[in-house]
Structure 1
């Protein structure tokens, strides 16, 4: 039997939980999108032919939002995870990139 803390969590689970808090630190409060990502996301919203750099910046923004394009074709959460990341990137774009 493993030792537990007063919280009822087994000691190894409590250590992992605390380690996650230390490694994760404070939530990030700065801008999520770089100026290049803002510029390229704005360009992608037009009907102009996109460049490879614009696609790469769009993918970088989606990854920041938690989307992980799996190399496998059996992602059970696709397309829901992609759409959720797109909504988050759209929110970031509206709040961080557009002039107020």
Structure 2
């Protein structure tokens, strides 16, 4: 029961954080991902064997989205918090990177 309460509280905090990101003026005014991150994420989607630099870029984007992969942190919300960050990075990729590409 305690785990359920803690998970609900964490989900509520995550929802509030995401709503704050969506409604705040400054974060929405510019891209969330750098051109290098856009390039690396596009390469990750099409390359079966990514480079270490591409994986580091992916990790950087996930950290921007709020994911903390610290190994000493026994995260009871894993993998849900990772999936939430991946969905946010995917959204950023679609909005930030697709608009920057010519065509």
Aligned counterpart, 2:66: 66
Distance 2:26 2:79 in 1: 27
Q: What CA deviation, in whole Å up to 9, does each residue of 1:2-61 have, x standing for no partner?
A: xxxxxxxxxxxxxxxxxxxxxxx9642311000000000000001331001000000000
Distance 1:27 1:76 in 2: 31
CA RMSD of aligned residues (A): 1.9
Q: Which has the higher helix share?
A: 2
Distance 1:82 1:36 in 2: 21
The TM-score, its normalising length taken from structure 1, stands at: 0.68
Q: Once structures 1 and 2 are overlaid, which stretch shifts more, 43-52 or 89-98? A: 43-52
Alignment of 1:53-92 (within 5 A): 53-72=53-72, 74-92=74-92
Q: What CA deviation, in whole Å up to 9, does each residue of 1:46-78 have, x standing for no partner?
A: 133100100000000000000011222621110
Aligned counterpart, 2:40: 40
The number of residue pairs the alignment matches comes to 76
Aligned counterpart, 1:13: none
**Greater radius of gyration (CA):** 1
